[in-house]
Every structure is written in C-alpha cells, then in structure tokens.
Amino acid sequence: MADRYLSFTGTAPGRFLTRRLGLPQPTALRRWSPERPGLDGGLLHLTAGKTDLDLPPVLARAGLGEDDTGRPAAVVLDASGIRDVEGLAEVHAALHPVVRSVAASGRIVVLGAPLDAADHHQAAAQQALEGFTRSLGKEIGRGRTVNLVRLTTAPAAESTLCFLLSPRSAYVSGQVIEVGEHGSAAPHDPGRPLAGRTALVTGAARGIGEAVAETLARDGAKVAVLDVPQAEQDARRVAGRLGGIALPLDITAPDASARIAEALPDGIDVLVHNAGITRDRRLVNMSAERWIQVLEVNLASVLRTTDALLSRGALKRGGRIVATASIAGIAGNTGQTNYGAAKAGVTGLVRSLAPRALAEHGVTVNAVAPGFIETKMTAAVPLFIREAGRRMNSLGQGGLPVDVAETTAWLAHPASGAVNGQVVRVCGQSLLGA
C-alpha cells in the first residue's frame, strides 16, 4: 500500500502545511538501482584523536571521490583513537561544522574501537560514541543515516563500509556494528560477488523472502526458494524467474534438513532463515496452540535446521548464515509475546553460535531485525496503527522488503567474514528499543 503521507509531504503544499502544523516531514529515500548505484556526491574523511587505521585505500573502493563541493554525500569520522573524555571534544569539533551540509539521503559513519576492558577511561569514551551516534541519527533528518562501526583494522571492514556508504543501506540507521580483525578475500567480480555460490532462502515465495532471493540472485547466487507446499506455485514462479530451484517443504518437518541436503548435494554457501508466522493475541487470550505454532516455525525450526546442516557439513567453509530476528524481539510488542519470544530467541542463537560456528566450521552467523516493513501483512494493519508504525522511526517512514534484502546480501557477501554475531536492525532507527 502506498504511503500517501510521504508522497504528500514531497509536494510544495505538503511541505508548507506539515511545517506549519509541526508534523513529521520524511524524505523519500534513495535506494540502489543499476542506473544510480552510488550516492550522489563525494566523501569527507575526518579524524578525531590519534588513529592507526589506514583508511584511504578502503574508502577509495567505496566508490566515492573526495568531496570538493562543501555538500558531501558521506562523512566518515575516524574516532577510533579517542581514549578519554577530553578526546570527545574532538568529535564535536569535527562534526559540528559539517553536519548541516551533508546532502539529503547522505551518510555519516563514525568509526570507533572495541572497548578496552583494562582501561575504563577508553571504554567510557568509546561507549560514549554509541550514545552520540544514536542521538545524532534521531535528529539529523532529510533521509540521512548515522551508524557506528567498531573495528581494529580497516581492510576487514571494507564490505561493511561499502554497504553503509551506499544507497543499499537506506533504511539502516543508528546501528552499532562490530567488525573483527580477520576479513575475507574480495570476490573476483565485485558486481556479482555471489557468483558460483548457492543460497537457500526459507519463506521465499513472497514478501521479504522473495526480495532476499531476488537480491542474492542479482549478486550472482544460485537460489533455492523454499516455502510451504501450499505456496508451491508462488515458489516455482519466483525460482523460475531467478533461474533457481523451488523447494516446496515445511521447514518444521522432522526430515526437512535431510531433504534440503538431498536437494542441494553440492552444499550451501548462504543459508537465510526467513520463514516466519504470526499468531497474535494478548497473553491472557492466547491459546497454547498459537504459542507453540509461532515458537516452532520462528525459532525451533531455525535451531534444528542450523544444527543439522552444520553437523552434516552441508554448509561450506566460508559460508554465511543470516537469520531473521525482529524489533518485536528487542522492544516487545503488544499481542506478540509468542513472536517476541521467538525473535529474541533468534538473537540468542546468533550471539551464542557465532564464535563456535566460525571456529569449527568457518561459517559466520548474523541476523537482520526488521522494523516496520511495507508488505501485504502490514497493509492489512488498521490505519492508525499502520501510520504509527511508519512514523515512529528517525526516517519517518516504513521500510521496503528490499531494505532487508540488501542488508542480508551484505552479511552474505564473501568479504564480510569479519562480521560475525551481529544483529543489525533494519528499522529506520525505530524510536522504540533504541
């Protein structure tokens, strides 16, 4: 369903009226397209504190030239060397003069360092960057995003910086992403980074799952489109369009993992857990059946399938697991105690399994946590609740399925091996749950 309010505020009468009434004035976001794959403008690279990061070669590969207009499309502030409260003054000094000049739908990326457990002054200063980043994201407006990346080496963060400094990250703001020390080799073809790889996407016959399948196929993957037998026709339609294969299969079935491994005998490079259902009721009115159904599909099947495919060796070394969490699992949601529990469980799975999966199998484990995304399901939500969902984030609008898909594609990227155990919210920086 079209966001008529967003369209109205883009007109001259809409801008005038909403300004006079003090109403939100969201800016239509710039998303990736083949015709406009990058941001419109240059990059401003700033530093606060002493840094050891060799950023210029990495930033150059983000595709943005140096800004010479005074209206940068992106600003990268390297604050990784800040070690005390006094150093935070340099953060203010660097960004205060330029924030207003960042172009609409522009990007600000703050670079920080991991917290030093042996130096509480450094830890306090670096943690302060998180509060700074989230606060700036909520006030900057005009479709601009602000994110914090904690890193120790610049090369390991290349895929992350390229994502955050591009239109692909249009609906990702206010996030703190930790990047490890050891990255992965860049793909031979940057335009098709998943060429030669196989991706399995569950719940892929429609909605967000279909968008994920499309985006991974765009990036070169051979995609297996898995969905329940009732959606077989849609699954075959999507698979046929993408040159992939359809797997009509109930992911909760006891033999689901065996059938997946049989259908994909050469192994899986990317496993995307997207299948999910809702059975909303307040707890006092929720039957045990509704509770069990949601926990079974959204959490138990994710655990079983992941364990089985890892133990079988069906997930190749260098592989990627991307699960779908939710804002409901972070902030909670009325009428969704079952769904919130299941999605919070996904977060727990990611954080616990990630280090072991990488050490034992060479596989990373991350999650995306969507906020209000414009789908057929949200189109059926009552008007006032739907409008609240759209406006209660820093970007003042709902996201699109492609926003979740682009974030998934970044986590699935062969060069994203240093990104592990992260839960990245795709929510336009929801005003709930930070």
The residues annotated as belonging to the active site are 339
In order, the DSSP letters of 78-138 are E-TT--STTTHHHHHHHHTTTGGGSPTT-EEEEEE----TT-HHHHHHHHHHHHHHHHHHH
Strand partners, 324: 368
Q: Is the distance from CB of 81 to CB of 52 less than 8 angstroms?
A: yes
β 364-370/315-324 pair status: parallel
Residue bearing tokens 């399901």:
377
Q: Is the distance from CB of 102 to CB of 66 less than 8 angstroms?
A: no
Identity of the residue numbered 88: L
Phi and psi (nearest 5°) for 110? -100, 130
Q: Is the distance from CB of 403 to CB of 166 less than 8 angstroms?
A: no
Per-residue tokens: 321: 């697991």
- Half-sphere exposure of residue 137: CA atoms within 13 angstroms, side-chain side: 30
Residue bearing tokens 């079974």:
296
For residue 279, give the 3-state DSSP assignment: coil
Cα(143)–Cα(161) distance, integer angstroms:
18
Per-residue b/e over 131-164, b at no fewer than 16 CB within 10 Å? ebbbebbbebeebbbbbbbbbbbbbbbbbbbbbb
Using alpha carbons, list the distances in angstroms from residue 169 to 31, 160, 213, 408, 424. Answer: 8, 10, 17, 11, 11
Residue bearing tokens 């974030």:
407
